[in-house]
Copies of this chain bind each other. A is one copy, B any other.
Amino acid sequence: MTVKKYNRAVQLCFLWLVVSTVLLQSSDGHSWKKHPLPKPCRNLVLYFHDVIYNGLNADNATSTLVGAPQGANLTLLSGKDNHFGDLAVFDDPITLDNNFHSPPVGRAQGFYFYDMKNTFSSWLGFTFVLNSTDYKGTITFSGADPILTKYRDISVVGGTGDFLMARGIATISTDAYEGDVYFRLCVNITLYECY
């Protein structure tokens, strides 16, 4: 009886040592702790199509310049400094494939501006407003978009409806680029938190 009690006391003491060691380590402010990445809970691949106003296409344009640096104008993208400072607002159709004429499943609404002088680069803030049989809700994105990189990631910063409080990233690739009038982006969205 006494030996058993002694054994149990030793076991408890050892357990306490292990637990307190673990706790001390994790409470050490200097050993930054990473969470394991959760598995993706949703993946969507969508395309959107931007037709920028150039003075001649008022009927078809889905985006327009609304800001530009001193000396530039609002009709055409600035000819110098890789469009640095040109600011556009857009309302672009979203499709399931890369065909501009496919039935849209929603609208990409937001703004972008060109943000580098020495290369083509932009910054995006926009929302996918989805309203199809498959998805009803919005996903909002924001971040830097280094256009000339084949695949670039931007952040999912929020969502509503089917995408309530969505978190994750979108990998963007330029699927087509026709002068300064049309571009098509493929957006591969990976969400890690779904409700």
Contact = CB atoms under 8 A, between A and B. Distances in A.
Oligomeric state, in copies: 3
Interface stretch (A8-16, A94-102, A159-167, A176-184): A159-167
A53 B111 CA distance: 22
A66 B64 contact: no
Contacts of A84: 64, 89, 91
Interface residues of A, number: 71
A29 interface: yes
Nearest to A26: B39
Most buried by B among A68, A143, A161, A164: A143
Interface of A: 26-27, 29, 32-37, 39-42, 53, 55, 64-70, 73-75, 84-87, 89-91, 107, 109-111, 113-117, 121, 123, 125-127, 129, 138, 140, 142-144, 146, 153-161, 164-165, 167-169, 192-195
